[in-house]
Amino acid sequence: MSDTDTAPTEGAIATPAANGAEDTDSMPQVGVIVQFIKDMSVENPNSPAVYQWQDQPQLDVQFNINVNRVNDDIHEVVLKIAVKATSPQGTLYVVDLAYGGLFGLRNVPEDALPPFMLIEAPRLLFPFARQIVAEQITNLGFPPLLLEPIDFGAAYMQQLDAQAQAAGTQPGNA
């Protein structure tokens, strides 16, 4: 990176230019600038009675990804995870987390942005969000919930397939 760069280079990934040139000013560069909790809600609405319930709770885990362009070189990716545990007696707990990251991207082709923002960026954020969710559930007095890894690539492909079907075309027949 040149001396005029303002984004930290820690964690930056650089790939050689297509023509094999060593010019780093034209190579695609990606870096994590910062990760942060954007919003979090933790509820234990039926305490203290909930600690006497004997039924195994039913878990509902949902996730969503939002992407916002901050400027030409910086994008915000927010991974939202919602966990709700219920039993026949009522709700044990609810944890809603919006965990974000700012990513610096330079010289990345436009067609490469969606896969990076919806697959790789959430993949980088997920372990940290997973840990926060587990800690919050433990803080509520329950065993930690260790979320299974999410295949963001498969989710992205499902989204593309759904969009193609909605448009009336089959994937790969564009």
Question: Which tens digit of pLDDT belongs to each residue from 98-127?
Answer: 999 999 999 888 888 999 999 999 999 999
Within-domain flag for 140:
yes
pTM: 0.78
For residue 9, is it within any domain? no
pLDDT value for 170 = 56
Q: Is position 167 within any domain?
A: no
Domain residues for the domain of 145 are 29-160
Q: Would residue 16 count as lying in a domain?
A: no
Residue 134 burial by Cβ neighbours in a 10 Å radius (0-12, 13-18, 19+)? middle
Q: Is 170 inside any structural domain?
A: no
Q: What is the CATH number of the domain that holds 77?
A: 3.10.420.10
Q: What integer pLDDT is reported at residue 165 of this predicted model?
A: 87
- Which pLDDT does position 169 carry in this prediction? 64
Q: How many domains does the chain have?
A: 1
The DSSP-derived string for 58-70 is EEEEEEEEEEEE-
Q: What is the DSSP letter of 143?
A: -
3-state secondary structure 12-55: CEECCCCCCCCCCCCCCEEEEEEEEEEEEEEECCCCCHHHHCCC
6-44 pLDDT tens trace = 444 444 444 444 454 455 678 888 999 999 999 999 999
pLDDT tens digits for 50-98?
999 999 999 999 999 999 999 989 999 999 999 999 999 999 999 999 9
Q: Please check whether residue 47 lies inside any domain of the structure.
A: yes
Confidence class of residue 162 from pLDDT cuts 50, 70 and 90?
A: confident
Q: Is residue 122 part of a domain?
A: yes
